[in-house]
Structure 1
Amino acid sequence: MSELGGGGGDADAVALYERAVDSFLFFRGDVAETVGEMRRVAPGAPMGQVFAAYLGLLGTEEAQAVAVREEFARFRADADQSGFTERERAHLCAASVWLAGDIERAGALLREITVAWPRDTLALAVGHQIDFFTGNAASLRDRVAGALTAWSEEDPHYGPLLGMLGFGLEESGDYARAEETARAAVERGPRDVWGIHAVAHCMEMRGRFAEGIGYLDARRADWGAGNMMAVHNWWHYALYALEAGEVGRALDIYDAALHTPSSEGAVLELLDAASLLWRLYLEGGEVQAAIGGRWEPLADAWAARADGPHYSFNDVHAVMAYLGAGRMQAAEELVADRAAWAARPHPGVTNHTMMVEIGLPVCRALIAFGQGRYERAMELLLPLRGRLQTFGGSHAQRDVVQRTLVEAALRARRWEVARMLLSERLSLRPTSPYNWLGQARLADRLGQAAVAATARAKAASLAATGRSALAG
């Protein structure tokens, strides 16, 4: 395989690289071990070093990024690059740029690799994840779409490419085409957990939560354990349960999959845990009380990470955990630390822009909400609601911030803003019980008893379909 070069012509190293790429596409847990073995077999192969760097960055964890940055710098300093291919040098450049903090430029460099070598699977898959981290929906779709005709439909990796394309289509709002494409990916490979994830997103965005429950239930053996997407796909299942009004079921999922006593504190899993609990926190009353003592260990897990300013999307979820646990000081200290960092210039660091424009205002809005300053929370979030994607994540993930805005408007008694926000949500997802319950609350405040009763009846009828699916 020409990507290996620099000592990578060894047949064992080639086989290990191919196995690692396959594991990466299907989110199998052995990918890091396989890459590590490849580096031992062929320490001079640049693609083994590049692959390790990418893996260290994809977790969005500062400590991992620092460790791989140091390793990668040593390799580049010691390696004789004269024998490396053009493609290998291009990957080395992309990894170096990302390690230096310029996520967007790294994504652009990987796109250039894909244009020149459209069958470079690693460039496609890593670039796709960068598009996700930067909230670039058009590139999530077009990066893969632009390479697809260079592939044979008989290639074993054609299915995972369809799964990636399906997710990009979903984030771009083309839900029908997205679902068709993602389902085709899963038909080719039942254990394509990214393809399953793309279907789950389509159903979430179209308010088809009862169907989503049935879809995930029917394939639980393929996605529910033994892969690196299991926790996130369980999070999607928990969102469906919440729409069905089954708070207890959602919390059971939280306890069994999202944050357990054996959880290792991986940030991508902590994101899902904080996001689910914050949705319950926003409900107030008995729903909020049902969280019980779950906030404290989650806040402890975030605190134990002691992360610096690495990825602002993570900071927002850490603040949620601190506020949920009643640790206002910890939330304020995190924001103060990030604000001090953001006040200094960091040219070429994508997270600096993310933090200044989106991350810090959202964190401050969450703190204001936690302090009961709902008008202030609304004022901070309202100008951001159309560009939250610029600090990463998916529509489904960012919806927790949108829900915070809705709740802030209702509690601030800003009925005109609440009406507009709920009208938008109902127009986009008229089958969402959450949206109808929000409409009922607004109608109550406005003294529109008949409208409120109709909205609650609609929410109850829709939720019943979800409960039936869960019972089935």
Structure 2
Amino acid sequence: MHYPHLAARGAIAGLLSQSLESFLGFFGDPLAPLAQAMELDPDLAEARVLRAWMLMTAGDASLVPMAREDVAVARRSAAGTRLSLHLDALERWCGGDWRGAARAVEDINLQFPHDVLALLVGHFLDYYVGDARTQLVRTERAIAQWDPQRPGWHAVLGMYAFGLEENARYREAERFGRMAVEVEPRNAWAQHAVAHVLEMQGRPRDGIAWMESNPHWQADSGLSPHNWWHLALFHMALGDLERIVALYDGPITDGVEPRPLPLHDASSMLWRLRLRGQPLGDRWNELADRWAPYADEQWSAFNDWHALMAFVGAGRGDLVERKLRAQADAQARGDYRTGLADAGHAVCRAIVAHGNDDHRRVVELLRPIRGQTHRMGGSVAQRDLVELTLMDSARRSGQRMLADALEAERHNAMQWRAAA
């Protein structure tokens, strides 16, 4: 399948299209054909831009220098407005201006509505900065100008489904997500969008059936650990803690590269089990060791939050102090444009307080920022862990009226979402 907006021709064009198709659907290894293309032409701007976006969307600060190098090489040979705009957006993101990068990509979307790469990276920038509205309207604009015969149709449908879900338009989200998987069963992002709908509507049995009905996402997909995490959430709703622990020890963590995105899933799952009082053995220590290389990272409040859950769970005060010190340094420089000042720092301090059994402090920190946690990025389902932590601490600190109110609010919200 050739993506017509790619300027490269011949064998290189085929390799770039193969790489892009894999990237769009989260299946296979998008870097393998890209590496072959770069062997044929190491200075090819399109290949460098594509790899830089792959590196940046991984959410890992250690990959930023390589992305910067790709941008620098691409600048020397990039021709045309479209590639120049991509490089402008990449430079913003590499420099820590996440929201500026998101706006720069939106300019590409407006000028080149069929540039599916720009649509995808804009979609993920919106996810990282917690801008659900823009995440939806990006794909809403594009889908109006797309047709099923154009390459990338399944990816546009999957992105649209996730944007709809994050904006609580659940029926439409489920319809478009299922449509995307019907078009391309390997599209793990579309599979995941429907899983979000079923999670938010409290339909765990439907969720298990949906995830088990399609084997394509379960292997040969960079999103596989996250989709196993979704399956575990459905089992958690049914109280099947043994199955959750088996999934954690298996596909959520076993053999998974210790990078921030899969580590998010591991931290989140163990913290949820912690809140339920599940014995976890040495799992916290193993996870803290995986997060340890990121203790001094200054890149994302969402990463910090998940790293701190592991460090607190393992009782690793040394790593906790390093992470909090890194945050303080970043704040002093005015960095962390992805939610640290708005909510991230409070959430991180609340995790530390929870580890110290200072539950009144947890409540003091989390109550004022409940409406701001989206600024950390991530999905509604991921950030729900903040609410679960607040509810746990309200109950443990003896604030019964607050705890009852939070639980009633949660029940009412689930009833509304189930009917939406």
TM range (shorter): over 0.9
Alpha-carbon separation, structure 1, partners of 2:337 and 2:99: 12
What's 1:37 paired with?
36
2:245 aligned to 251, 254, 258, which one? 251
Alpha-carbon separation, structure 2, partners of 1:46 and 1:70: 12
Give the deviation of 1:106 after TM superposition. Answer: 1.2
Alpha-carbon separation, structure 1, partners of 2:374 and 2:389: 16
Give the deviation of 1:74 after TM superposition. Answer: 4.5
Alpha-carbon separation, structure 2, partners of 1:70 and 1:19: 23
Q: Does 1:280 align with 2:273?
A: yes
Q: Does 1:404 align with 2:397?
A: no
8 Å CA contact retained: 2:96, 2:337: no
8 Å CA contact retained: 2:97, 2:337: no
8 Å CA contact retained: 2:295, 2:307: no
Give the deviation of 1:419 after TM superposition. Answer: 2.0
Q: Secondary structure at the match of 2:291?
A: helix
Which structure 2 residue ranges, 5 or more long, are not aligned? none
8 Å CA contact retained: 2:164, 2:172: yes
Alpha-carbon separation, structure 2, partners of 1:431 and 1:293: 39
What's 1:301 paired with?
290
Q: Deviations over 1:53-89 (max 9, x none)?
A: 111111111111122213423443xx155xx111111
Q: Does 1:417 align with 2:406?
A: no
Q: Does 1:376 align with 2:361?
A: yes
Give the deviation of 1:376 after TM superposition. Answer: 0.6
Q: Deviations over 1:279-307 (max 9, x none)?
A: 011122xx2x2x11111111000013454
Give the deviation of 1:149 after TM superposition. Answer: 2.1
Structure 1 segment 85-96 matched on structure 2, within 5 A: 85-96=80-91
Structure 1 segment 141-290 matched on structure 2, within 5 A: 141-219=136-214, 221-260=215-254, 262-284=255-277, 287=278, 289=279
Alpha-carbon separation, structure 1, partners of 2:310 and 2:356: 14
Between Structure 1 and Structure 2, whose CA radius of gyration is higher? Answer: 1
Alpha-carbon separation, structure 1, partners of 2:187 and 2:74: 33
What's 1:313 paired with?
302
8 Å CA contact retained: 1:36, 1:52: no
- The amino acid of 1:342's aligned partner reads Q
Q: Deviations over 1:237-290 (max 9, x none)?
A: 001111111111000000111112x33212111110000000011122xx2x2x
- The amino acid of 1:363's aligned partner reads C
Give the deviation of 1:103 after TM superposition. Answer: 1.3
Q: Secondary structure at the match of 2:371?
A: coil
Aligned residue pairs: how many?
Answer: 415
Alpha-carbon separation, structure 1, partners of 2:144 and 2:333: 45
Q: Secondary structure at the match of 1:147?
A: helix
What's 1:137 paired with?
132
Alpha-carbon separation, structure 1, partners of 2:116 and 2:148: 14
Q: Secondary structure at the match of 2:17?
A: helix
Give the deviation of 1:228 after TM superposition. Answer: 0.9
Alpha-carbon separation, structure 2, partners of 1:100 and 1:344: 13
Alpha-carbon separation, structure 2, partners of 1:363 and 1:380: 9
The verdict on how the C-alpha distance between 1:13 and 1:32 changes in structure 2, with shifts beyond 3 A counting, is: same
Give the TM-score of the pair, scaled to structure 2: 0.95
8 Å CA contact retained: 2:338, 2:375: no
Q: Secondary structure at the match of 1:429?
A: helix
What's 1:99 paired with?
94
Poorly superposed stretches of 4+, deviation over 3 Å: 1-5, 304-307
Q: Does 1:127 align with 2:122?
A: yes
Give the deviation of 1:207 after TM superposition. Answer: 0.4
Alpha-carbon separation, structure 2, partners of 1:141 and 1:257: 30
Query: Structure 1 vs Structure 2: percent identity of aligned residues?
Result: 36
Alpha-carbon separation, structure 2, partners of 1:95 and 1:321: 31
Q: Secondary structure at the match of 1:387?
A: helix
- The amino acid of 1:25's aligned partner reads L
Give the deviation of 1:233 after TM superposition. Answer: 0.4
8 Å CA contact retained: 1:3, 1:47: no
Give the deviation of 1:36 after TM superposition. Answer: 2.1
Q: Does 1:362 align with 2:347?
A: yes
- The amino acid of 1:160's aligned partner reads A
Alpha-carbon separation, structure 1, partners of 2:72 and 2:295: 24
Q: Secondary structure at the match of 1:33?
A: helix
- The amino acid of 1:367's aligned partner reads V
Which structure 1 residue ranges, 5 or more long, are not aligned? 433-472
Q: Secondary structure at the match of 1:154?
A: coil
The verdict on how the C-alpha distance between 1:273 and 1:80 changes in structure 2, with shifts beyond 3 A counting, is: closer
Alpha-carbon separation, structure 2, partners of 1:233 and 1:71: 30
8 Å CA contact retained: 1:61, 1:267: yes
Give the deviation of 1:414 after TM superposition. Answer: 1.2
Q: Secondary structure at the match of 2:186?
A: coil
Give the deviation of 1:311 after TM superposition. Answer: 1.2
Alpha-carbon separation, structure 1, partners of 2:159 and 2:302: 22
- The amino acid of 1:168's aligned partner reads G
Give the deviation of 1:154 after TM superposition. Answer: 2.5
Q: Deviations over 1:157-215 (max 9, x none)?
A: 21221111010000001111111111111121222111110000000000001110111
8 Å CA contact retained: 1:203, 1:211: yes
The verdict on how the C-alpha distance between 1:353 and 1:153 changes in structure 2, with shifts beyond 3 A counting, is: closer
Give the deviation of 1:353 after TM superposition. Answer: 5.2
What's 2:412 paired with?
427
Give the deviation of 1:3 after TM superposition. Answer: 5.0
Q: Does 1:19 align with 2:12?
A: no
Q: Deviations over 1:17-53 (max 9, x none)?
A: 2111111111123211222222232334322111111
Alpha-carbon separation, structure 1, partners of 2:407 and 2:40: 58
Give the TM-score of the pair, scaled to structure 1: 0.84
Alpha-carbon separation, structure 1, partners of 2:367 and 2:196: 25
Q: Secondary structure at the match of 1:146?
A: helix
